[in-house]
Amino acid sequence: MPTTLPRVNVPFERPIYELLEEISKSEKTSLSQVVAGLVKTALELAEDLALAKEAEKRLGTFRRDVALSSDDLLKWNKGRNRGR
């Protein structure tokens, strides 16, 4: 079925291409679907890594003495929602 999705032409070294073909055959799906799925997974992992780095940075500046407890946070949120 034709698609209007943007396309990318990517050259692969022969061993990688052959591996992608093997995956495609074993999953009974198209080569483009295999590559698209792998790219999507790689992007999700990259996003996870970036978020983890940001979390580590924030953890370094976290101060428990000024942090809100969960009860305080719930009270704050309840008060905030009253005006809506």
How much is the pLDDT for 57?
Answer: 93
**Mean pLDDT, residues 33-52:** 97
Question: Against a cut of 0.75, is the pTM above it?
Answer: no
How much is the pLDDT for 37?
Answer: 97
Instruction: Give the rounded percent of residues in the chain with a pLDDT score beyond 70.
Output: 96
Q: What confidence tier does 84 reach under pLDDT thresholds 50, 70, 90?
A: low
Domain boundaries, the chain: 14-81
Asked if residue 12 lies in contact with residue 23, where contact means CB atoms within 8 angstroms, the answer is no
Asked if residue 22 lies in contact with residue 14, where contact means CB atoms within 8 angstroms, the answer is no
